[in-house]
Amino acid sequence: MHSEAIDAIRRALAEDIGAGDLTTLACVSEGTRARGFFLARQALVLAGTDLLRPIYDERGGVEHLELFHADGDHLQEGDMVAEVIGSARVLLECERTALNFMQRLSGIATLARQFAAQVEGTNCRVLDTRKTTPGLRRLEKAAAAAGGVVNHRMGLWDAILIKNNHIAAAGGVRPALAAAAKAGVPVQIEVRSLAELHEALDCGAAHLLLDNLSPQQAHDWIAIVAGRATVELSGGVDLDSVRNYAETGADFISVGAITHSAPAVDLSFRLELL
């Protein structure tokens, strides 16, 4: 597992348990063993299951952990996600951290699946964005991928995306593209007007971002592009409008809501003594 995920798990456990789980230490004898079950309380797309074992390992491990479903699986209410057997103290002190991660990440996967389903049958794919919870980007992007959307760049370090403020700071579309071309990595540029669109195309831009257009405007601008560059749309896209945008001829639609506004799903944990 990536070190960022392990760091996130350690921070989450420390945040919740602190110097010790007072309730569990007071009520549960040290040698008590138990079995626990994670259950879906609603229809959802699952994500975050690979965090369960390292969560328990951070608190001493468990005897047995079985996953009944994998990330990306569609679950119905009442489906069992996983079974875990071990120290009752460990199961109880890890309960909330395990649920928090899986509920949050499964919420992202569930919303991502809804967006992906809306564009089925078109030649357009939905992208996630960098609008993620600080420190949890890698996990949230994995959840978005489990839901069926395509991961955009991970950060500022793996691709160039020239946006309006970069264009302003560089002195215009042409100088921004000329400078970026020297970096030797993929370059995408946002254009905000028809003049910028034509200028970017004249400069040989291969990847365009069109932001905050209506579906009709997007259709008209993409007709001007005429296949000379890949086109990504963004801005104000929701589940009700994404299909209309996908049918404009765009190659991609980026949706920040997949990670910044996905509601957590309902999962529960049930424990029984052995």
Whole-angstrom distance, CA of residue 96 vs CA of residue 269: 9
211 is catalytic: yes
- Give the separation between CA 68 and CA 99, rounded to whole angstroms: 16
Catalytic residue, chosen from 33, 53, 163, 174, is 163
Distances (CA, A) of 152 to 93, 141, 200, 217: 35, 9, 21, 24
Catalytic pick among 33, 53, 130, 131 = 131
Q: Is residue 63 annotated as part of the catalytic site, yes or no?
A: no
Q: Which of 190, 196, 232, 251 is catalytic?
A: 190
User: Can you give the pTM of this predicted structure?
Assistant: 0.95
pLDDT digits (tens, 9 = 90+) for 153-201: 999 999 999 999 999 999 999 999 999 999 988 899 999 999 999 999 9
Average pLDDT, whole number, for the chain?
Answer: 97
CA distance 130 to 108: 14
Among candidate residues 35, 96, 130, 192, the one labeled active-site is 96
For 214, the 3-state DSSP assignment is coil
Q: How far is the C-alpha of 200 from the C-alpha of 192, rounded, in Å?
A: 11
Residue among 83, 67, 70 nearest 109 (CA): 70
With contact defined as beta carbons under 8 Å apart, do 144 and 137 qualify?
no
Residue 183 zone, left/alpha/beta (φ > 0; ψ -120 to 50; rest): alpha
Total count of residues recorded for the chain: 274
Q: Say whether 163 is catalytic.
A: yes
Is-catalytic flag, 35? no
Is 21 noted as a catalytic residue in this protein? no
Q: What is the pLDDT of residues 12-48, one digit of tens each?
A: 999 999 999 999 999 999 999 999 999 999 999 999 9
> All domains of the chain, ordered by start, with CATH?
3-115+263-273 (3.90.1170.20), 150-254 (3.20.20.70)
Do residues 180 and 163 touch, judged by C-beta distance below 8 A? no
Which pLDDT value is given to residue 217? 97
Q: What is the pLDDT of residue 1?
A: 79
Residue tagged active-site, from 79, 83, 211, 247: 211
Six token digits for residue 115? 């967006």
